[in-house]
Amino acid sequence: MPIPAVPKDVDWREFFVEQLIRLTGVSAIALVLVIFLFLVREGVPSLLEVPLSNLLGQRWYPTFEIYGLMPLILGSLLVTVGAIAISLPLGVATAIFIGEIAPEWVREILKPSIEVIAGIPSVVIGFIGIQLVSPLVRQFSGAPTGLTALTGVLLLAYMALPTIISIAEDALDAVPDSYRHAAFALSATHWQTVWRVVLPAARPGIVTAVMLGVGRAIGETMTVMMVAGNAARMPLGLDAFLRPVRTMTATIAAEMGEVARGSTHYHVLFVVGLALFIITFLINLAAALTIFRQQRGGGGRFLA
Amino acid sequence: MKKAQVMTAQAKFLLDDVSFYYGGQAALQHLNLEIADREILAIIGPGMSGKSTLLRILNRLADLADEGRLEGQVLLDGKSIHDADVSVTQLRTRVGIVFAVPVPLPLSIWENVAYGPQLRRGKDRGELDALVEKSLRAAAVWDEVKDRLQEPAMALSGGQQQRLCLARVLALQPEVILLDEPCSGLDPISTMKVETALRALKRDHCIVIVPHNIQQASRIGDQVAFLLMGELVEQGTAEQMFTKPRDSRTDDYITGRFG
Amino acid sequence: MRIPRYTAQKVAFGLITVAAVSVLIPLVFVIGYILVQGIGAMSWEFITAMPRGGMREGGIFPALIGTIWLTIGAGVTSIPLGVGAGVYLAEYAPDNSFTRTIRLAIINLAGVPSVVYGLFGLGLFVIFLRFGMSILAGSLTLGIMTLPVIISTTEQALTTVPQSFRVVNASLGGTTWQGVRKVILPQALPGIMTGVVLGLERAAGETAPILFTVAAFFLPRLPHSVFQQTMALPYHLFVISTQVPGMPIKIQYGTALVLLVFVLTMNLVATLIRRYYRRRRQW
């Protein structure tokens, strides 16, 4: 909590320093606005140049002036949902392991290891995906190439894991010990306690973890660009996971280098970027609000 | 309308119809109090009576409270401490405070004591060394730390830390020393050392202390003020307050009928 | 059929342990595999020499030095601004909705995809401000991407320092900045440093922000000004693993290994800072 600065009796050096610090603080929020406005400025022209029916179409052929965004949006959605489907149970289970089961020495190894996973650059994971995971996928699935949505999903799941694990672990840790003791006193086993008491009490935190994991997965670029195939087709049908797919992020990365500045294609790519900005903004907003609401309401709703 | 200010020649602090509110709650109500120089004023009263708040008003530490609001006037040497041209940081070097829980800064013993003087430029190392020694002696802790001035202050015992905090305040060369239950949590020997130091210090300072029990007030207080639920019930010399209190509530508190 | 409680527990905890282990295994495998495959390419020449033969021989020095420059540039951009904003939020900002909005904005900025930062950097620095594809544009882009992390960890580190120190500083006649400068900031420094190192670790490893702002695949000479392009390790790895036919596999793994070591060393440094100062803390 800050101690209010006293303006009256300060010498000029203190005043100068304080104003400088104030400036940096305000510039943070200015930055968000600048980024947003810039994306809008470069992206909105596309809405004027390209009819909405085109943008919402199912084909993405920029060379023929066809800018249907649906394949890209669905591509992002597909790999994200797939990745979370894997990393949510795995991540929560690992969080439970770290928080409730693992002895101290195991925890000392596991926790830094999770941070190391988080630190591996996405291009390195993409590289390993090409070299190791993709051939495996091709072998076991019979798909013509290993560069499929499934490959992307597997790698993305691994990249989202550290986020989910660390936040879920914090959420489990925040559940007061008194809850566990109360359950033990009622002769519950450790597992029953975890499943029926601790996990429900930690639910807001786990939801937050998932939301931030989703944000991470949606925003990932290099990995999906390198292994998911980069074909901008609608990912429909039961074999969608075994076909190549392209995400919004990969589209920007792949095509921005080749567009003429100021062209329609250029503006459309900025609109895609704007969409990503808004989506992740909303996800993080929802996650932050969940945390704030939980802090105010306390974790006692389960026993209320 | 302000009451007429009756100032004796020696009044250091004058509180004129002072009330203090935390948000909607009144912590102090319409206090009229005179604090004389070169004396020890002990403020007694049951818990939550506003004693700590009163201390913090005297050096405007209460300004740090988010929702605090002061009414009335607080005069130091006849001048309001809330005047526009008053430097708050300077005020706090004239009126120093020792807290109930000793909080040594995460620095060496020497750096702790020299912290206040070093905030203002102009003293060289030699002067600071002399000031540090003088303050530690006056706080009755010099002998115990003189060989370890560069060691972390947090390594000291509780009693030593508290006397270090007193030395830290003395290094400011203040005119007034405020003490908020300084001996709560100290063993009887440390308590005795602190009280002896205060008796010596009152020759040159105005001292206001909130003792944590009545016995301490009777041991070292020259003047005693009784605060009850934010209201000043009675003020007088220690002898008068403890033997012939004028108000029945004072009598009840001192004899232990409530607490 | 009722499953006995303790059997259920054994099964559940067993599965959970399997899950946790299965998280760890790919990590060990990946790092080990890159190490094994890439160590063969390691040599003094690999790290210090310029590439030859269309990148298929020689060294990756320009990419390595480029990444170092960009990381430094990101730091120069983000550290003063980030620490300053963190100090502002922790020590000066009043507790009102405007401050809450700032905090929310920073949290959200931290979640924006790196490719969007790349887009922003392209639009603002490369094109609008006419820096062109350059170390300057790339550093600024990476710096802005790193900013939210540094602000958050700085603020966090400062608020962990006990409030009582601030009260003592005020009671001894100190101003807010004097307290921050003499006591609070030094005590928060380890946490701040950890955050800075982790933030820069990400900057060093990211490809998308530098794709359109600075990265080049082949430069015959090292850049000698900030207005020039540079090679960089992440981009180099990306290109040689996807777009250069006939690229020896050893060189690919070697490049990946160098990048991994670079990044994980920073990770290690951050962890060591954290551990060392936690032990020395007096409060």
How much is the pLDDT for C66? 93
- Among C residues 125-164, those touching chain A with beta carbons less than 8 Å apart: 127, 144, 147-148, 151, 163
Residue in chain C closest to A13 (alpha carbons) equals C177
Q: What is the total residue count of chain A?
A: 304
Q: Is residue C48 in some structural domain?
A: no
For residue C282, what are the contacts with CB-CB under 8 A and spacing of at least 6? B106, B152, B154
In the predicted model, is pLDDT for residue B2 greater than 70? no
pLDDT averaged over chain A? 85
**Above pLDDT 70, what percent of chain C?**
100
Q: Give the integer Cα–Cα distance in Å for B137 and B135.
A: 5
Q: Which residue has the tokens 């909405």?
A: A52
**Above pLDDT 90, what percent of chain C?**
60
Band of pLDDT at residue A294, cut at 50, 70 and 90? low
How far off is chain B from C183, nearest CA to CA, in Å? 7
Phi, psi at C216, each rounded to 5°? -130, 150
How much is the pLDDT for A277? 92
Mutation for testing the A interface, residue in C88, C96, C239 having most A CBs under 10 Å: C88
Cβ distance of B63 and A4 shorter than 8 Å: yes
Question: Which of the four CATH numbers 1.10.3720.10, 3.90.950.10, 1.10.357.10, 1.20.1440.130 does domain A77-303 have?
Answer: 1.10.3720.10
How much is the pLDDT for A213? 93
How much is the pLDDT for B25? 87
Query: Contact, B8 vs B223, CB < 8 A?
Result: no
Count up the domains in chain C and report the number.
1
Q: Is residue B244 in some structural domain?
A: yes
Query: Contact, B178 vs B208, CB < 8 A?
Result: yes
Q: What is the total residue count of chain B?
A: 259
Q: Give the integer Cα–Cα distance in Å for C283 and C271.
A: 20
In the predicted model, is pLDDT for residue C115 greater than 90? yes
Q: Kindly state the tokens that stand for B152.
A: 């972390």
Residue in chain B closest to C171 (alpha carbons) equals B92
Q: Where are the beta strands (DSSP E) in chain C?
A: 51-52, 57-58
- Domain coverage including residue B217: 11-254
Of A97, A124, A276, Cβ closest to residue C256: A124
Burial (0-12, 13-18, 19+ Cβ within 10 Å), C17: middle
Cβ distance of A285 and C108 shorter than 8 Å: yes
Q: Considering only B39-43, C56-60, C64-68, C137-141, which range has the smallest mean pLDDT? A: C56-60
Cβ distance of C20 and A102 shorter than 8 Å: yes
Chains that touch C (3 or more CB pairs under 8 A): A, B
Give all strands of the β-sheet with B25-36 in edge-to-edge order: B25-36, B11-22, B68-76, B79-80
Of B63, B64, B87, Cβ closest to residue A9: B87
- Tell me the pLDDT tens digit for each residue of C260-274: 999 999 999 999 998
Query: Contact, C206 vs C215, CB < 8 A?
Result: no
Q: Give the integer Cα–Cα distance in Å for C238 and C233.
A: 9
Cβ distance of B89 and A8 shorter than 8 Å: no
Chains that touch B (3 or more CB pairs under 8 A): A, C
Whether ipTM > 0.95 holds is no
The pTM of this model reads 0.88
- Tell me the pLDDT tens digit for each residue of C117-161: 999 999 899 988 999 899 999 999 999 999 999 999 999 999 999
Cβ distance of C175 and A6 shorter than 8 Å: yes
Residue in chain B closest to A11 (alpha carbons) equals B87
DSSP SS3 for A156: helix
Residue in chain A closest to C22 (alpha carbons) equals A90
Cβ distance of C282 and B154 shorter than 8 Å: yes
C241, A148, A86, C159: which is closest to A94 by C-alpha? Answer: A86
Alpha helices in chain A (DSSP H): 12-49, 52-55, 70-96, 104-119, 122-128, 134-141, 149-174, 177-185, 190-193, 199-201, 203-219, 222-227, 248-255, 264-297
CATH number for B224 = 3.40.50.300
DSSP SS3 for A260: coil
- Tell me the pLDDT tens digit for each residue of B51-110: 999 999 999 998 888 788 899 999 999 889 998 888 888 899 999 999 999 999 999 999
Q: Is residue B4 in some structural domain?
A: no
**Above pLDDT 90, what percent of chain A?**
40
Q: What is the total residue count of chain C?
A: 283
Q: Give the integer Cα–Cα distance in Å for A249 and A254.
A: 9
Q: Kindly state the tokens that stand for A160.
A: 């989202």
Task: Flag whether residue C265 sits within 8 Å of chain A, measured between CB atoms.
Answer: no
Which has the higher per-residue pLDDT, B121 or A47? A47
- Please list every residue in chain B whose beta carbon sits closer than 8 Å to the beta carbon of residue C91: none
In the predicted model, is pLDDT for residue A8 greater than 60? no
Q: Is residue B1 in some structural domain?
A: no
How much is the pLDDT for B5? 47
Strand partners, B75: B14, B80
Q: Is residue B175 in some structural domain?
A: yes
How much is the pLDDT for B9? 54
Q: How far is CA C80 from CA A24, A186, B229, C140, C147, in A?
A: 9, 55, 50, 13, 10
How much is the pLDDT for C258? 93
How much is the pLDDT for B121? 74
How far off is chain C from A270, nearest CA to CA, in Å? 7
The helix-helix angle for A104-119 and C185-205 (nearest 10°) equals 50
- Please list every residue in chain C whose beta carbon sits closer than 8 Å to the beta carbon of residue B59: 171
- Tell me the pLDDT tens digit for each residue of B183-213: 988 889 989 999 999 999 999 999 999 998 8
How much is the pLDDT for A297? 53
In the predicted model, is pLDDT for residue B6 greater than 80? no
Residue in chain C closest to A278 (alpha carbons) equals C112
Mean pLDDT for the stretch of residues B150-166: 93
In the predicted model, is pLDDT for residue A2 greater than 60? no
Q: Kindly state the tokens that stand for A284.
A: 């993080």
Strand partners, B40: B207
Chains A & C: contacts with CB separation below 8 Å: 270
Residue C112 identity (one-letter amino acid) = V
Quickly list DSSP for B48-102: TSSHHHHHHHHTTGGGGSTTEEEEEEEEETTEETTSTT--HHHHHHHEEEE-SS-
How much is the pLDDT for A3? 43
Phi, psi at B37, each rounded to 5°? -80, 160
The end-to-end CA distance of chain B, in Å, is: 35
The end-to-end CA distance of chain C, in Å, is: 55
Q: How many CB atoms lie within 10 A of CB B203?
A: 7
Alpha helices in chain B (DSSP H): 51-58, 88-94, 109-119, 125-138, 142-145, 158-170, 188-201, 214-220, 238-243, 248-254
For residue C90, what are the contacts with CB-CB under 8 A and spacing of at least 6? A2, C154, C155, C158, C159
Cβ distance of C167 and B92 shorter than 8 Å: no
Task: Flag whether residue C250 sits within 8 Å of chain A, measured between CB atoms.
Answer: no
> ∠A168-A288-C149 over CA atoms, to 5°?
85
Count up the domains in chain B and report the number.
1
In the predicted model, is pLDDT for residue A144 greater than 60? yes
- Please list every residue in chain B whose beta carbon sits closer than 8 Å to the beta carbon of residue A13: none
Band of pLDDT at residue A301, cut at 50, 70 and 90? very low
pLDDT averaged over chain C? 90
Task: Flag whether residue C190 sits within 8 Å of chain A, measured between CB atoms.
Answer: no
In the predicted model, is pLDDT for residue C180 greater than 90? yes
How far off is chain B from A3, nearest CA to CA, in Å? 6
Residue in chain C closest to B113 (alpha carbons) equals C172
Q: How far is CA C282 from CA A199, A276, B113, B154, in A?
A: 35, 45, 18, 7
C269, C232, C259, C267: which is closest to C35 by C-alpha? Answer: C259
How much is the pLDDT for A31? 83
In the predicted model, is pLDDT for residue A4 greater than 70? no
DSSP state of B153: G
Query: Contact, B112 vs B168, CB < 8 A?
Result: yes
Mutation for testing the B interface, residue in A1, A8, A13, A15 having most B CBs under 10 Å: A8
pLDDT averaged over chain B? 89
Of C9, C175, C211, Cβ closest to residue A10: C175
> ∠B91-B93-B99 over CA atoms, to 5°?
105
Band of pLDDT at residue C113, cut at 50, 70 and 90? very high
Strand partners, C127: none
Chains that touch A (3 or more CB pairs under 8 A): B, C
How much is the pLDDT for A263? 85
How much is the pLDDT for A7? 40
Band of pLDDT at residue B3, cut at 50, 70 and 90? very low
